Amino acid sequence: MPDERLPKSNQCEVSDFNALVDQYQERILNLCYRFVNHREDAEDVAQDVFVEIYRSIGNFRGDSKLATWIHSIAVRKSLDFIRKKKRKKRFGQVKRFLGLDEAENELFAPRSSQPEVVVETQEQATILREAVESLSEKQRIAVILNKYEELSYAEVAVVMGTTVSAVDALIQRGMKNLRKKLYRYYRENLEN
């Protein structure tokens, strides 16, 4: 990502803010979508992100890239949204149980009622998304930022407030868990 730093004044003029929104809105929308998996929710969260940017631009110390700072806010807002949604669902009907840390859990079966049907390519994206969603929180964040959003390990480390080696470990473990989950899934659902 190119190095973008705010002017020293840290004042957010309207035109600057509009330019910032124009530059980042799709990137942030898609990042939020990776977490919340729902278009309308992703738009709501992305709006929250830009409102937060507007309110707290004066607190940006410029010790990281602007894009990294914006990504941090987007990750935080997305996770807040997911937690809020879970709290609302707690007393509702439980659709599926999300594992904690590295606990194993099942992915959804293919939409076809016939498990022997070969999984179509277009469903593979959904299966991958669900597998990522079932990872532990930190692994999920690291995998989404690095694999979907193509942030470098260093950038992921800044966004997550951790070290590069920790990010490396999270991504290694995350990918290992993804392969395990996918293996179990295809073992049960792939035709012979």
Partner 1 sequence: MDRKKKIEEAIEQTLQHFESAERLQSSPFFFTKLQARIEGLKRGANQRYRSAFGLLRFALLMLLLIWNVVTVTYLLGTDQSEAYERSEMISAFAEVYALELDD
Give the closest residue to 40 by CA, choosing from 81, 6, 73. 81
Nearer residue to partner 1 within complex by CB, 50 or 81: 50
Alpha-carbon span 187 to 142, nearest angstrom: 27
Does residue number 83 form part of the binding site for partner 1 (CB under 8 A)? Answer: no
Within 8 A by CB and 6+ apart from 66, the residues are 4, 5, 6, 60
Q: Least Å distance between CB 25 and partner 1?
A: 5
Residue from 50, 69, 81, 153 in contact with partner 1 (CB under 8 A): 50
**Which two tokens mark 146?**
């690095």
Q: Least Å distance between CB 119 and partner 1?
A: 7
**Which two tokens mark 67?**
């894009």
Alpha-carbon span 115 to 8, nearest angstrom: 60
Does residue number 190 form part of the binding site for partner 1 (CB under 8 A)? Answer: yes
Q: Least Å distance between CB 38 and partner 1?
A: 11
**Which two tokens mark 6?**
């705010």
Nearer residue to partner 1 within complex by CB, 64 or 117: 117
**Which two tokens mark 95?**
């659709």
Does residue number 109 form part of the binding site for partner 1 (CB under 8 A)? Answer: no
Taking the CA of residue 132 as centre, how many other CA atoms within 13 Å lie in the half-sphere pointing to its CB? 21
Q: Least Å distance between CB 183 and partner 1?
A: 6
Alpha-carbon span 94 to 74, nearest angstrom: 27
Subset of residues 146 to 185 that bind partner 1, contact rule: CB under 8 A? 147-148, 178-179, 182-183
Within 8 A by CB and 6+ apart from 186, the residues are 119
Q: Least Å distance between CB 63 and partner 1?
A: 26
Residue from 30, 64, 72, 162 in contact with partner 1 (CB under 8 A): 30
Does residue number 192 form part of the binding site for partner 1 (CB under 8 A)? Answer: yes
Interface residues with partner 1 (CB under 8 A)? 17-18, 21-22, 25-26, 29-30, 33-34, 39, 42-43, 46-47, 50-51, 54-55, 119, 121, 124-125, 127-128, 131, 147-148, 178-179, 182-183, 186-187, 190, 192
